[in-house]
Each structure stands twice: as structure tokens, then as C-alpha cells.
Amino acid sequence: MKIIRSNKAMSAYSGKLHVNGKTVGFVPTMGALHEGHLSLIRRARKENDITVVSIFVNPIQFGPKEDYSCYPRNLRFDAGLCKKEKVDVIFFPRAKGMYPKNYKTYVTVEDLGDSLCGAFRPGHFKGVTTVVTKLFNIVNPDKAYFGQKDAQQAMIIKKMSEDLNIAVKIKIMPTIRESDGLAMSSRNIYLTKAERLDAAVLYQALTLAKKSVNKGMRDCREIIKIMKQSISARKTARVQYISIVDTLGLEPLNRINRRALIALSVWIGKTRLIDNIIVNP
């Protein structure tokens, strides 16, 4: 397994692979790898000749009061997991290499980043789409793998690739969960024992919503109300938002009359966790 740090070396390596007719599968991550990331890596390995995993904690997608400086970083641990999964290349760029002095260019997808998480994290998706565009240009993959766990991010990246004619096939893979339903996340390690127990409430509330829809409930306000009630029963939990939107334009729905995304963000103590589920009446 190679670890490549320079953008030039990464581009050259990928160029050579393409000349030799090899396909490249790409999994962009911020490291602190867990089973969620590994599920993307395994799929990439299955569908491509060569698998590249990037590990980059992207400074421009964090707000000034967010956890950029304390985000978990452990290359040795991540490299061990990647090696076990037979990853071919870890691309581990330097922040200065990605954003040199006098950096000026950003990519934005209009509208889709305004709602849900975007409403509470101004500039976040602009940071994501910019870094993903740069990574796509450097790695030049045939297929790239993202998680449904970050549903809004996945949709925005899909739209960006379509709109900008980026020749990468975007693959969205299911959310991997702990045994109590908590979506795996690099941020789960911030949770205390009591918080970790409370954190299961995100998936419980989503499951409750899905059951209610299956029983015939259609009114979104009513569904959100029962979700809020279930979350408020947990001492350390505080809802940031619960939204029910259509799965194409992320437009808020009053009634569930088509395929819908139920997405939520909940503070568990000082840790902000997100999750979502799709319902189809």
C-alpha cells in the first residue's frame, strides 16, 4: 500500500493507471475510519482495479466554532485498517498543498445546500464541494463512493458532478450502524458513556417515524412532533432540526405523498450527530 502526500504524485500515479487501462475507485474520507468507511472501501475494491482512499480533514468545511482542531486524527490506525482492506493507495494531502496562500476558487451548488444541515453550517457544503472537486481532479477516479449517512452531502455531490460534467460515477452506499442503531461516525468517540446510550435515540426517532408512515400517518408536523417527544425523553439530547423533505430537490413537505427523506440533527451533550431515513408511502 502506497501513502501519497503530494498532489502531483497522486495525479501522476492515477494517470499511469489509466494509461494501463486500470479503473480507479475512490473513497474520500476525513480519517478516523470505522465500519461505515470500510463498507465504502469494500465496495470500491469489488468494482475497480485500484482503490484510492483519501484522508484529509478539510479546514474549509468547518465553521469557526466547530471541531476542526480537535477532529480525531490517527494516520497509523487508519493506515492499518486500509492495509487490512487491501487498499492500494492512501492519498493524504497537506492542507497547504490543497489551499496554498492566495487560494481563490470555490465551487457551490445552489439551493440544495441551504436547508437541513446547510441552514446551521453556513459555508459547509461550499467547503465540501470545493474539496471534492479538487480531489476528483487530482485522483481522477472512475467511480467515487459516498455514504447515505450524509444524505444531503451525497445529493449535492451527485448534482455537482452532473452539472459540471465530471466524468465520475457517484455511488451512494447504505448507512452502517452500531447494534443499537446509532449510525457509525468518527464523532461518536466524543460521547461519554451516558451520552452514548442517549445517542441511540436518533435512530429510534427515525424508526418511530417510519413505523408511523407505514401505519398511514402522512402529516409531517404530526410525525415531527412524535419524533421530538421521543428525543426529549433523553436527558443529554437536544434537537437542532428535524426535516421531512422530498428526495429530489430537498423541498420541505407538509404531507408525505411521495418518496421522502426524514433527516435530523441532534446535539448529544456537546456533540452534534446527524442521521436520516427514507420513507416511501
User: Catalytic positions, please?
Assistant: 37
Q: What are the cell numbers at 127?
A: 467547503
- By CB under 6 A, residue 175 contacts ligand AMP: yes
The yes or no reply on residue 135 touching ligand AMP (CB under 6 A) is: no
Give the C-alpha distances (Å, rounded to integers) separating 57 from 30, 62, 63, 68, 218.
5, 9, 13, 7, 40
Quick one: 29 or 243, whose CB is closer to ligand AMP?
Answer: 29
If the CB atoms of residues 35 and 111 are measured against ligand AMP, the closer one turns out to be 35
Which of 25, 36, 113, 141 contacts ligand AMP by CB under 6 A? 36
Q: Which of 10, 184, 261, 277 binds ligand AMP (CB under 6 A)?
A: 184
Which DSSP letter does residue 257 get?
-
- Residue 180 CB partners (closer than 8 Å, separation 6+): 200, 203
**Residue 78 interacts with ligand AMP (CB under 6 A): yes or no:** no
* 212 closest CA partner among 198, 230, 200: 230
- The reply to whether 14 sits near ligand AMP by the rule CB under 6 A is no
176 binds ligand AMP (CB under 6 A): yes
Tell me, rounded to whole angstroms, the distance of Cα 187 from its chain centroid.
Answer: 12
Q: How many residues bind ligand AMP (CB under 6 A)?
A: 17
Q: How many CB atoms lie within 10 A of CB 228?
A: 14
Task: Please identify, among the stretches 28-36, 79-87, 129-137, 205-213, the one whose residues bind ligand AMP according to the rule CB under 6 A.
Answer: 28-36
Kindly report the backbone phi and psi dihedral angles of residue 91, in degrees, each rounded to the nearest multiple of 5, phi listed first.
Answer: -95, 120
Q: Is position 126 an interface residue for ligand AMP (rule: CB under 6 A)?
A: no
> Which cell goes with 7?
498532489
Residue from 274, 30, 263 nearest 146 by CA: 30
Span from 79-87, 101-109, 175-183, 229-237 in contact with ligand AMP (CB under 6 A): 175-183
Backbone φ and ψ of 240, nearest 5°: -90, -50
Give Dmax (Cα) for the chain.
58
Question: To the nearest whole angstrom, how small is the minimum distance from the Cβ of residue 30 to ligand AMP?
Answer: 4
Q: Is 188 in the site for ligand AMP (CB under 6 A)?
A: no
b/e burial code for range 145-168 (CB count within 10 A of at least 16 → b): bbbbbbbbbbbbbbbbbeeeebeb
State yes or no: residue 39 binds ligand AMP (CB under 6 A): yes
Residue closer to ligand AMP, measured from CB, 7 or 29:
29
Least distance between ligand AMP and beta carbon 37 (Å)? 5
One-letter amino acid identity for 97?
Answer: G
- Beta strands of the chain (E only): which ranges? 2-4, 24-29, 50-55, 89-91, 143-147, 169-173, 237-246, 260-268, 271-279
Residue 127 interacts with ligand AMP (CB under 6 A): yes or no? no
**Is 40 among the residues that bind ligand AMP (CB under 6 A)?**
yes
Site string for ligand AMP, 220-259 (x = CB under 6 A): ----------------------------------------
**Segment near ligand AMP (CB under 6 A), from 5-13, 180-188, 191-199, 228-236?**
180-188
Q: What is the binding site for ligand AMP (CB under 6 A)?
A: 29-30, 36-37, 39-40, 146-147, 149-150, 173, 175-176, 183-186
